[in-house]
Chains A and B, each alone.
Chain A
Amino acid sequence: MTDATELRRRTQELLASHPPATTGRLDFLRARFDAGLAWVHYPEGLGGLGAPRSLQAVVDAELEAAGAPDNDPRRIGIGLGMAAPTILGFGTDEQKRRFLRPLWTGEEVWCQLFSEPGAGSDLAALGTRAVRQGDRWVVNGQKVWTSSAHLARWAILIARTDPDVPKHRGITYFVCDMTDPGVEVRPLRQITGEAEFNEVFLTDVRIPDARRLGEIGDGWRVAQTTLMNERVSIGGMRLPREGGMIGPVARTWRERPELRTHDHHQRLLTLWVEAEVARLTGERLRQQLVVGQPGPEGSGMKLTFARLNQEISGLEVELLGEEGLSYDDWTMRRPELVDFTGRDAGYRYLRSKGNSIEGGTSEVLLNIVAERVLGLPAEPRTDKDVAWKDLAR
């Protein structure tokens, strides 16, 4: 059993053989992966030691104290958070060996080719086709809302391989090479002026069958692993009071008495209370997780934060009066990192509109709460037992 002491010893060993001061960043990260200290809960040989996930903090603390470089997790979030667990869960040994190391070190960036113009909330209705030709699949279709597509070396892709069965059953999961000549990436400019996301057009993209993840037709189940990991990453952080979107507007209120009105005061106090209660709700959820009693409360946090972010930033724009009529910059840019609270109030207002759409719309999340938490019946379905090709489009 690998315990904290053992992990500390191995970390010190790594630091001794690869002193951060004299080792190149990438060399250090590769050595860390090979020492099993990248993600300690992964298996040996794949960057881990099969240790409890909670012990990662021990390694991270030692490395941080020694000034070691990290793998810039915010830049490679889709690889770390979504692709890696799926490859670990469903990949072949060859796939795990090939993909996980450069994914973790950040040498290869990953993106996600899931959503389509015709398949958003109803993702399982997706229409991108993959047709088998010998030991390859030929893929045609269009994906959308793909962050990092212009930087990515690889993509996780779900495509329809059998249109003759109901929609959930005819999907297969692949790893797509983003350098294939049939892959065209176009920035998708959004209401903030910038382009965080892309549209991806797939024309006769050839994917070897060896890059399939999981069984043919089992892609929906494989995708659940990916999507579950997307939701886990939301909301485990401790926030101080006024730590979120309410912080900037509260500061503005204190520093700019000339902007204050009675109407804004009432709305600010109401939102301040809601933000504080949301913070406490997140804190309670975190405490439940720490003692190993995860409740269903997590499914609600994203709903609450989406609404609050929108209302608070909306109030801030109004409170600013004349300044609220300006916007910092409409120039089309492609930011590498997204910062919801970055830039000015107008940006925060516009960007937060996406919070109730991305990662599951608020409407779909309310259905999930109603059905999975409250146990209310699902709406009658007309699409469950119908072949995908016969669905109305």
Chain B
Amino acid sequence: MSPESPESPESPDGPVDTRPDLLYTEEEDALRAAVRDLLDDHCDAAGVIVRTESDAPHDLELWKALSSDMGLAGLLVPEARGGQGATHREAAVVLEELGRAVAPVPYLTSAVVATEALLACGGVEDLLAELASGRTIGALAVALNTAPGGPYKVVRQENGTLHGELTAIADAAVADVLLVPADDGGLYAVDASAATVIPRVSLDLTRPLAKVVLHGAQGRRLGDAEPAVRRALRAGAGLLASEQLGLAEWALTETVRYLKERRQFNRPVGGFQALKHRLAQLWLELVSLRAAARNAADALATGSDDTDVAVAVAQAYAAPVAVHAAEEALQLHGGIGMTWEHPVHLYLKRAKADAIAYGTAGGHRAALAELVDLPAP
């Protein structure tokens, strides 16, 4: 679905001149419109707030509409393997919209991260097709704060059964299958019913975490954990930037709208220069984040040699911008922004959690130091 992007490979000495396609295609715009329509109808902020304190913080009906009805869970899976045969560029557009609505669905965790882990393994066609259909939700049992290439916890493998505890597993509460790395270097598929999943009170109410406890659970070995986890986390980190862009866009749009309306001192407060400059600054950051996020999505989609750099740049840039946008939204809304009733807190909590997810900005900068030869002292 994505146009060919000519890519000039990195030369050893000359300047690096990548040529990513940073725009949205017409198909991507149409996809965005369809997802936004669905979310406008089925994912209003008040409903999300109520849901966060219910027994079912995830919206599985919305998930069904997105995955089974619209086929979006299989974007990254080739058609021959039961998916839609699209690319990271389209998945990024979906994530922008899910971020804008701070939608409580396991899209990033199942349709991107767990799916990428399976794509790295051979002979898992059944599981891959199930995840692509959206009928099965998968979760990679690696702590959400793990950076691509970073260390992660493993469980003990004894005679084909798995033992141990894994913490900070995002969306595990709704997962049907857990992809678990073990101490023998393998990645195992474990049926969620064979594990004890203990929800944890999470900072981000819309992407809750859980602890996964395995007491001799049966696992099916899928392949080597290391390459699968690395690939999954890299795609997760790269596409997270698009979710962060969506979060920041909501924060800016909603704050601009409110400041045009809200009157104090007999004028709309959006006319005060001190506030206008802050919003203009935020807009600049968003414009830049869009370029960085598109660049990461395009690099992942085309398999560019530059992907590691593109992902690290996007994550080093995105997290502070999304958090800044949410924090500005709260402050500029004044008292109403501090209430439970107003949705800005959902965005702040997601943005702050996203700043830790798949590696911090500082962690990605440290990765860049190696990648672009700017070594530490």
Interface residues of A (CB under 8 A from B): 238, 240-243, 250, 253-254, 257, 260-262, 264-266, 268-270, 272-274, 276-278, 280-281, 283-284, 287-288, 291, 293, 297, 300, 303-304, 363, 366-367, 369-371, 373-380
Contact = CB atoms under 8 A, between A and B. Distances in A.
A371 B374 contact: no
A266 B291 CA distance: 23
B369 A269 contact: yes
Contacts of A257: 375, 377
B256 A379 contact: no
Grouping DSSP codes into helix (H, G, I), strand (E, B) and loop, the B interface class, with mixed when no group exceeds half, is: helix
Interface string B344-377: 0000000000000000000001101100111111
Interface residues of B, number: 45
> Counting chain B CB atoms within 10 Å of each CB, which of A274, A288, A293 scores highest?
A274
A249 B16 CA distance: 16
6 residue pairs, one from A and one from B, having the closest CB atoms:
A240-B15, A260-B377, A370-B276, A377-B271, A369-B280, A284-B22
B279 interface: yes
Contacts of B281: 366
A379 B369 CA distance: 45
Contacts of B288: 274, 277-278, 280-281, 304
Interface of B: 15-18, 20-23, 256, 259-260, 267-268, 270-273, 276-277, 279-281, 283-284, 287-292, 294-295, 313, 316-317, 365-366, 368-369, 372-377
23 contacts: A240-B17, A241-B16, A254-B373, A261-B377, A265-B374, A269-B316, A272-B372, A273-B365, A277-B317, A280-B313, A281-B288, A284-B291, A287-B22, A288-B23, A304-B284, A366-B281, A367-B277, A370-B276, A370-B279, A370-B280, A374-B283, A377-B260, A377-B267
Contact of A281 (B18, B277, B291, B372): B291
A341 B206 CA distance: 47
B284 A303 contact: yes
Contacts of B271: 376-380
Nearest to B317: A277
Contact of A265 (B290, B369, B372): B369
A288 B294 CA distance: 13
Contact of B15 (A241, A266, A268, A378): A241
A374 B287 CA distance: 13
Contacts of A287: 21-23
Given A277-B292, A288-B23, A376 B374 contact: no
Contact of B256 (A266, A278, A300, A374): A374
